[in-house]
Amino acid sequence: CFKQVILTKDNLAKRHWVGSARCSFCDHNETIKHLFLDCPLTKILWRSIHIAFNINPPTSINMLFGTWLDGVDSDTAR
C-alpha cells in the first residue's frame, strides 16, 4: 500500500486494463486512498471500529499502515 502498487482499479488502468476505474461501492474513481479512507462504505466501517473498539480512524495512508496501531494494547488488537 505504501508503495502504491495495490491493484486498485486506477493501478490496473495504468497496466492497460480495460475495465471501469469506478469504485464498485460508490461510483467514484477507485484509488488506494479512496478504497481505504474516502469511500462512504469505508467511512462506515471506520466509524464502526471506532464505536466498537474506541480506536480513532486513520487520517492518511501513512498513518494507517505506519503508526495507526502503535498505541493499541496488544490484547485489544487480537
The answer to whether position 4 is within a domain reads no
pLDDT value, residue 78: 47
pLDDT value, residue 58: 87
Query: Backbone phi, then psi, for 51, in 5-degree steps?
Result: -65, -45
- Mention every residue, 6+ apart, whose C-beta is less than 8 A from residue 44: none
State the pTM of this model. Answer: 0.71
pLDDT value, residue 7: 84
The residue type of 74 is S
- Per-residue pLDDT 10s for the chain (78 aa) are 656 678 889 889 888 989 998 999 998 999 989 999 999 999 999 999 999 999 888 888 878 777 655 655 555 444
pLDDT value, residue 29: 93
Domain count of the chain?
A: 1
Residue-number span of the structural domain to which 43 is assigned: 9-69
- Per DSSP, what are the bridge partners of residue 22? 29
The answer to whether position 61 is within a domain reads yes
- Euclidean distance between CA atoms 18 and 11, whole angstroms: 12
